[in-house]
Structure 1
């Protein structure tokens, strides 16, 4: 079972961006729910049916300021 990880960040101009780790996939959306849809569509376009990952992970980097 192939997995693919996306690094999710808040965009400076608003909304969110997602970049796949190890693949040239990048997408953006205004909300997290919309971003999930955009990620699925980007993966569908990027991979052939037989090579498509079965599990997608969204990893959000959060800063903790001391």
Structure 2
């Protein structure tokens, strides 16, 4: 596996959540830089050092409502 993809969303109560696509990995943090550290740590814990994918791709989803 060359990469793992995380879906990153802003949490309704503040901060961010990240969920890996196709794997049982979920993490959250108060800010985006902290979230990246949490994602790296959660990925290493899930796969172990030898099988951790070399690339982590973040797909950020942002919902915004604007007046018509």
Structure 2 length normalisation: TM-score? Answer: 0.86
* Deviation >6 Å, runs of 4+: none
- How far the C-alpha of 1:55 sits from its partner, in A, is 0.2
Aligned length: 66
Structure label with greater radius of gyration: 2
- How far the C-alpha of 1:50 sits from its partner, in A, is 2.6
- How far the C-alpha of 1:64 sits from its partner, in A, is 5.6
- How far the C-alpha of 1:51 sits from its partner, in A, is 1.6
Gaps of 5+ in 1: none
**Cα RMSD (Å):** 1.5
> Aligned with 1:22: secondary structure?
coil
Structure 1 length normalisation: TM-score? Answer: 0.89
Gaps of 5+ in 2: none
